[in-house]
Structures are given as structure tokens and as C-alpha cells.
A = this chain, B = another copy of it.
Amino acid sequence: MIKNSIFGIVQNDLTALEAELLSVIHSPVHLITEISEHLVQAGGKRLRPALYFLCARCGVDHNSPVSIQPLATAIELIHMATLVHDDVIDNSPTRRGIPTANSKWGNQMSVLIGDFLFAKAFSIVASSHVSERVMQVLTEIICSMSEGEIIQNKDTFNPNQSEMEYLDRIAKKTADFIAASCELGALTAKLSDQDVQALREYGYSIGMAFQITDDILDITASTEQLGKPAGNDLLQGIVTLPVLYALQHSPDAAELTRIVSTRGMGQDMLQRGLEIIHATDAVDYSYRLVNEYLNRARQVLPEGMPSEIKEAFLAVAEFVEMRNF
């Protein structure tokens, strides 16, 4: 089953999720349905709900009739809401090769649709008899993500950042949410506190590895592979790990500092920036960090999980390691 798909064991859950997403975003206001359907159908890896489902299915009775769907739907809606707002903020024309909401319906409508999706997510959770702890995990994660985005936005075009600041920022922006998705699944499965904590750490490490890989791919992959322009982070002034490494180790660090600080750089300058980064071992160094996080993810997995679920968790780590898009 895992050979067919890394998320094989929760494939039915993920199929049901797609139907649920299309159902909950339906609004009497036709335009809301239209934009939201575009966003659902634009897809995505569904990594957060997939990990949530995997953790939720760790419970002893993983065929329990209790619905584990609502939280997955809320998790993906919150993720979609942050992406819509991110695309407004970054003025992105495409995501995953598909036109963004802001490029099709404008910034104003995209801000409002993001708010609508946030509200929908909380409305679903409010009707789902979840515990106070689940509610807290979910709300704190949105606080954390907006803090992460605000820090990132504040620090654009600023070459004077430490690796620690970078790691803190991507934790808030990405890893904390993936950690929370695992935690929410583990809480739904009523696992022991120790296992909840272990799966949270697994999610955190996967999330850190995932975001660093994203930041590497921005520098190494082609526009076709990414579904968005390559080198986009540099253009947007977002200073990622390979850039930080090159700023500290390149003989051309002074030139790179000027490039990183330049708003509205042209293609020539962007290419020169990428050249300076590639001339160092910034990419190798960043992949080493990815592998450290992935090893930690593999190590923290709780003992005694059903073997097909453990295999799926390991397959997710492998997927993050190998992905080139």
C-alpha cells in the first residue's frame, strides 16, 4: 500500500477530506464558492492533514466511528488561508503552476477570502466537541504563524541575520504548524502524553526539514519544477539558510550583501547572486541540516506503533529528503 502512495494508509481519509473541503466552503455568495473551489482544486501536498490522520490512526482502535475529519478540514483551511494571504503579501502570480487568487480576483478579494477561510475553520472546530487543549493548540498555532510571517516581512532585504534567527523564523512559520498537526492527531487518538510529545517532535523536525528543503529548492530548482519563479525568495528579500551560509563563507560576501539588500533587482543581479551562492558549499551545508532534522524525526517516533503506520512516518521523512519540487 505504501508503495502506491506514501500516505497509503490514510488514503481514504485524504479522499474524504477533498470532498469535505469542497462541501464546507460552499457559500450562498457564489463568488466565495468560486474562489474557494479554485483554491481547493489548486491542490497542494495536504502534508498537514496527512500527518494529522497518520497520528490520529495511531490509536488502538483505528477504525473508531468517531469522526476525525473535522479537525483535518480545519487544519487544511487554516493552511489555505495563510497561503492566500501570503500570496497577497508576496504579490505572487502563481503557486504550484496555477494562478493565485490575488492574480485572478485581486488583493482585496483575497484578503477577505483568507478571513472567510479562517472563520470557516474555527466555525467547524467550534461545532466539533473538541477539547479545550485542542482548541488552544489550534489557536496558538495561528498566533505563532502570523508572528513568523511578521518577523520574515520585517527582516526582508536584511543580510544581517543569524542562523538562529532564521531557524526561529521558519519554526514559527512552518514547523510549529506541522508539529501541531501531529499533536492534534495524537490527542484525537488519545495517546499517552509521552507519545503526544514524541509525535509533536516528529512533526516539528519534519517541518524544519521541509522548510529548509523549500528554501534550498528556491535556489537549485527550475521555474518549471517549482511552479513559481526560481530565485523568488531572493527577489522578495527573504534571506534563507543557503544565502546566510554564503554570506558568511563566500569570498564574494560583500557583493552578495549588496545583492541581498537590493529591492527590485533585475535578472542579471539575481543570477549573479545565485552564482555566488552555488560557488560555496551552501547547498551541501543546508542539506546536512535537513538530514539532521530528518534523523531526529526518525529517532523520536514512539515505540510500539502499528508497523504500517511507522512505515508511513518513515516514508514521509524519505519523501521530504528526496523531493525536488
Which residues of A are interface residues toward B (Cβ below 8 A)?
A: 27-29, 31-32, 82, 85, 88-89, 107-109, 111-116, 118-120, 122-123, 125-127, 129, 132, 135-136, 138-140, 142-143, 145-147, 149-151, 153-154
Contact = CB atoms under 8 A, between A and B. Distances in A.
Contacts of A109: 150, 153-154
A151 B29 contact: yes
A112 B146 contact: yes
A119 B107 contact: no
B123 A139 contact: yes
B119 A139 contact: yes
A129 B133 CA distance: 11
Given A28-B147, A115-B142, 6 more contacts: A109-B150, A111-B111, A113-B150, A114-B115, A115-B118, A116-B146
Contact of A123 (B32, B112, B143): B143
A132 B132 contact: no
A126 B132 contact: yes
A24 to B, nearest CB: 10
B126 A139 contact: yes
Question: Which label, helix, strand, loop or mixed, suits the secondary structure of the A interface?
Answer: helix
A146 B89 contact: no
Contacts of A153: 108-109, 112
B146 A85 contact: no
Nearest to A89: B108
A127 B136 contact: yes
A128 to B, nearest CB: 9
16 contacts: A29-B151, A29-B154, A82-B115, A85-B111, A85-B115, A109-B153, A112-B146, A114-B115, A116-B146, A116-B150, A119-B143, A119-B145, A123-B136, A123-B140, A126-B135, A126-B136
Contacts of A147: 27-29, 32, 116
A147 B29 CA distance: 7
B29 A150 contact: yes
Contacts of A149: 112, 115
A140 to B, nearest CB: 6
Q: Which of A29, A111, A135 has the most CB of B within 10 A?
A: A111
B119 A150 contact: no
A132 B118 CA distance: 18
B29 A112 contact: no
Nearest to A90: B108
Nearest to A137: B126
A177 B150 CA distance: 28
Contacts of A142: 115, 118-119, 122-123
B139 A132 contact: no
Contacts of A126: 132, 135-136, 138-139
Contacts of A125: 139
A145 B119 CA distance: 9
Contact of A112 (B85, B108, B112, B138): B85
